[in-house]
Chains A and B, each alone.
Chain A
Amino acid sequence: MRTNTNQQKSLAESAAEIPLLDIDRLTVRFGGLTAVSELDLEVKKGSIVSLIGPNGAGKTTAFNTISGIYEPSVGTVRFQGRRLEREMTASTVWGIVIIGLITGLFVATAAVDVDRLWLAVVKRGVATGQPFVIKDVFSRLRGYFRAELAIDQFSGKWRVVSADGAEVLAIKRTREEAQSLRNSLQAAVTARRAGPGTVPDSSDLVKSAEATPGIKSEVLDRLAAGKVRIRRRGWIGLFTGTLLGMTGALAVWRRGRRSPEVVARAGIARTFQNIRLFSNMTVLENVLIGLDRTIGGGIVGMLFRTPDNRRREREANAKALESLEFVGLASQANRLACQLAYGDQRRLEIARAISTGAQLVLLDEPAAGMNPSETIELANLVQRIRQRGITVLLIEHHMNIVMRISDRVAVLDYGIKICEGSPTEVKNNPKVIEAYLGSDATT
């Protein structure tokens, strides 16, 4: 019994040892300017950690890097021991390959001249009165890619034409005549493609074709070369198109690897220093956006308002109202976000952030612009957030809040962490006093 509790305790301890958020030697540079330099910070689960410092110390830059808006120049940010990047899964690879193939097919279609292809496959079938069945379509398609001669009907006459319809070789009165001439000419073209002497059986056909008046040997030569040209165009188009499409898809995927969306989905939500609400949407809708991922359901459900869809929406509404209740905005649910008072807008941002189901919430100066009584309310709110099991990382200038609710405080100055510890340690640290009030060495 005793060992069991010990084991549990040690497990709990080891779990506590992996910090929820682990920032390791984080450096962020913008051109020549270093905004954050070699920042190390650990946030333990269930704690409230404050990041303080004078203006321009790089606090918001650190937040933006954690939430995936900026890319770290050096260093890593780990959440629950994982780097917050989209992994390359099998479906990503398939997606890239499929996008590549679609692009390739598109380019190949353009390269083989889709207009002529349509003429050969669809229109010629209609003109000669053949039924539109799959087998015939495929044989005509094959004929086009092999640049075989075809027969075509035009104003009552039957014509022998090249596959793409660009060259008319002969005009005959009946279909049978045209067909037999086409066969002999095709044999001549095939013989030329294979080289002299390789198709002995059709030699007499070849002779008869070449004896046909009006058909020059150069024309047959050109037709013989056509097969190679059209196929080469198709393959080159397919190859370059696929390559291009895959490269593009890969590049887009790489750039979106560490986006705010990936970070948010992993369980980090944030508020913004300059409030970024969806101002022309209602208060309730703002929170519903935070809940968006948990609602689920497809577009068909939305269009037909299926019972399943209604249930999901109802549940989401209830959850959103619960979040609003938590921050004390439930009575304002149907107002537009832009009509709220400043302090209420800040609290709405917090409600929106916690409704995402995040385990870590980054609050960027939540008390900015609030009066003293609102500030005290906010401090209580942050503590209640912690009671819900959500870890809080806070940037704040109101020292009474920071000192009252924080478990740990880190002080940044010019992008460098100058001090970290409990509120009392930080308060009495001479470096911190110097950063805030200036050094007295000059006096």
Chain B
Amino acid sequence: MIESPPKEIPSIIVQSKNKLTTPMLKRIFTLFLFAALTKFSTAQFNTLWIPDTLSGTTFNLNLIDTFKQIRSGNQTVTAGVNSDFWGPTLFFNKGDTVHMNVHNYLNDSTTLHWHGMHLPAVMDGGPHQVIPPGTIWQPYWKVANNAATYWYHPHLHEMTQEQMTKGLGGFIIVRDPQEAALALPRTYGVDDIPLMLTSRSYNGSNAFLYTNTSYGDYMLTNGIPSAQVNLPKQMVRLRILNAEMERAYNLGFSDGRTFYVIGNDGGLLNAPVAETRVILAVGERIEILVDLGTNNIGDTVNLNAYNGGFALGFPGGEPAQGGQFGSLLNNKTFTLLHINVTAATANAITALPVALANNTYWTASDATVNKTVTVTGGLPNQPGNPFGFENTHFDFNVINKTVNLNDIEKWTITNSNVFGHAFHIHDVEFKLVSRSTGAVGAYESGWKDVLYLPLGSSATFVAKFDDYSDSIHPFMYHCHFGPHEDGGMMGQFVVKGDNTSGIAEANVGTDFNLYPNPAHNKLFIQFPEENAGVYYVRMSDIAGRSVYMLPQPQLNNGIDIANLPSGIYLVALTDSKFNTITKKFIKD
């Protein structure tokens, strides 16, 4: 029937045009059909990758260009954090002060945003905190967030989609005493599984596509195509992140089983919420409990996306399979994770907790300030006017909104435009208090930092903007769809207060001393003037190459310069009034 074994499709693509004949085209078609049937008739699964973990209070994150064998044939050029795609899961304890050493080894500038973390704006890693190649950025903050699943990802304006597509990002899991006291699955990688859901499209050389494309054609779960995992016959916890560019997932299980939502973006719900389907939009996280205790060992069940049959506006519901808004995964049911049930572990969690938390949520009546955000642009007949807010697009030099420190505000986001969105705000975890489409779902009733905003609806949240004011660095609010935020569907707000990021206004004065000079391991900064302080320290070599970015550095312990090559360096101290003074030192 077939004269020779089927070859890889790419080798057919590069055949000479001159040699193509009608019989040959027929054979190519037959081979293609054979390859396609072979591929889809016998499902092959690959073992789910569980990201490595980092814990403690100092975290070293190296952002690297690299490559990974994702498909057969050539490797895919990727980027990762200490890894060839994605990055380690960072475990924080609430109340700890965490120090990050973010070393940018990439071929381009980037930023790293701590999505969901409540922290000073200058530590937030938004589009303003650009890390040039070769530079170490050292933000730090006291973890104030509740136990929940957060994440980190690049946020460089107009480059977010590209850098996230390449694989930069990772999970953050916060632990706290309240969550630790509950009988919940908590053994990472065994009964407590992080799931990063995304999809990718590839060109003929297996390179990722990231321009003029909103959806991938092939699912990647924790970076693995057709992923499967062995899970014990007991209650298991899935921490699910939608790390897509645009697609939402209508999550459910292949046997229609009930699962239990226990947590939203920013913490546990008051009690588990039973569901069979939950929509998870880009940037959202959800923690669910799935009871595999009633299964037999050897059973299989799939976590699926039931994305077929939605009205226009559901991200990923478009019928097209190709083009900018098309995808092979659009408007259909597809598998996210294949689960094989294995023997229960010792000390398995088998019961569903009745109560989880005792959250005191803000209500609409707590708010003293009301703000509105209206989705505009993005109309098919206005290609020069992409999605935005209030008919404007992101401008580094424009502060769109101002919030007073400690105010409780009510924000209403309205989308009477042409498509669904995922609205995200930095700095706070908010409480959804109303939706125009009906009651706020029980599954989204907890603390959140992203909300799904369906077409033709509005949503209202209440949040308190406490602890950190900063007249210089803004926080962002934006649609979390990569193409939308890169297109300017983003605004910025400053939180105004008496101080900057919780510390007194710093003034560098007129002089400072650097010692010892030459220095070898540590460099100390001393101010001769009383009450002098610094907002930002930047260090560069004599050629102007950036090497260190230290936001609001804690200077008492000195600056660790042990790893710098020998040479002459410049240290620039900037205060919150933008005064900068610079001095040289020699690293020996």
Q: Do these two chains interact? A: no
Chain B contacts to A: CB under 8 angstroms: none
Chain A contacts to B: CB under 8 angstroms: none
